[in-house]
Amino acid sequence: MKKICFVCEGNICRSPIAEYLMKDLLRKEGMDKDYEVFSRGLTNETRGEDIHPLSKEQLDKHHIPYGPHKAQKICFQDYADSDYVIVMEQYNILLLRRLFLLKSQDAKVRKLLSFTGSSKDIDDPYYTRNFAVAYADIEKGCKAFLEYLKKRYQEEAK
């Protein structure tokens, strides 16, 4: 089973949206048994908090199921055990490098929108207050990531 860890700063807005959206996409494709999907943050500031209410509002609006959530900071074991560490912005990569003393870019660490061919960051709606734009960007990234996984899945099945 492959592990996918979505990462944002506090694990209450962007990464939980990505986690639950990706779980839903994988389930609809019948690929959910092949992937463990979870999310983490890069700080302890929001540790233990639930998904931000406006993030939940976006998930509800798009009929994406979610469960109980308690924000957690990524630990080295989460990082080491994951096949994919998917971040929302360049600053997340910088924080990961500092946190785990990484000397160079690890191939398993990618920005979510890189799967769309874009180098764009997904802005933090906690600060911008634009949860609809963040959701749309995350959805675009997750759908492109799903297509990437489907191609890899087919290659591995051969």
Catalytic residues, which ones? 8, 14, 124
Contact indicator for 96, 87 with CB cutoff of 8 Å? yes
Dist CA 127 CA 131 (whole Å): 10
Dist CA 104 CA 55 (whole Å): 32
Q: At what angle do helices 14-28 and 53-61 cross, to 10 degrees?
A: 20
Dist CA 133 CA 140 (whole Å): 11
**Other beta carbons less than 10 A from residue 55's beta carbon:** 25
